[in-house]
Amino acid sequence: MAGIKAEPFTFPARPRELALIVIDMQRDFAEPGGFGASLGNDVSRIARIVPDVKRLIESFRAAGLPVIHTMECHRPDLSDLPLSKRNRGNPSLRIGDEGPMGRILISGEPGTAILPELAPADGEVVIEKPGKGAFYATELGDVLKKKGITQLVFAGVTTEVCVQTTMREANDRGYECLLAEEATESYFPEFKAAAIAMIRAQGAIVGWTADVDDILEAIAHA
């Protein structure tokens, strides 16, 4: 595979060491009645990126490259949920409360599930994470090491919170990170723009960013 056209410069892709990480494309964040909506957010912004996320997933699958999904969720007994997280912002629905799609962000509940259009295929890794970053209190690091992965392409939500946090965690662990710009989103467009600028500033201090079409073109020739 040739390098992937990206900002601030070409991403030096190595296909045998490349994986796609799809962050938290869950019903609770993308559908009316879920946790995202309970915080007063316009969830339609999240739904709009589904086609581009799907194109990325299908391209990685076709190329035989790993696809890893994450889900932000907690144990039914809330033992892994700090009170500071549950109570923040005084939302109308808190994590663990009953909502229109079951208990909010609880493992196994309907609303916690990944959107059907982006559902993991048989054999794909799904990481259940209790925090914003996908490395905290999860097996992600071990999974990547076993697969020989050193480079990560990121999609999912939200850009400035769980996606950027995971990219920063990955960067500190030595992974080269590339964000697919049209396949990530925030409830606040200015936050997405700021996160992209921060990620690729100072010579890709956290990582690179690229258009989905440029990533797909490179993957197709992997």
Would residue 97 show up in a list of annotated catalytic residues for this protein?
A: no
Question: Of 28, 52, 73, 129, which one is the catalytic site residue?
Answer: 129
Would residue 146 show up in a list of annotated catalytic residues for this protein?
A: no
Alpha helices in the chain, H assignment, sequence order: 27-30, 35-38, 44-47, 50-62, 83-86, 140-147, 164-172, 189-204, 212-220
Question: Of 24, 73, 132, 192, which one is the catalytic site residue?
Answer: 24
Question: Of 28, 73, 132, 162, which one is the catalytic site residue?
Answer: 162
Helix (H), strand (E) counts: the chain: 9, 8
Would residue 162 show up in a list of annotated catalytic residues for this protein?
A: yes
- Angle, nearest 10°, between helix axes 189-204 and 164-172? 20
Using a 10 angstrom Cβ sphere, with 0-12 exposed, 13-18 middle and 19 or more buried, the burial of residue 25 is: buried
Q: Name residue 217's amino acid.
A: E
Which are the catalytic amino acids?
Answer: 24, 129, 162
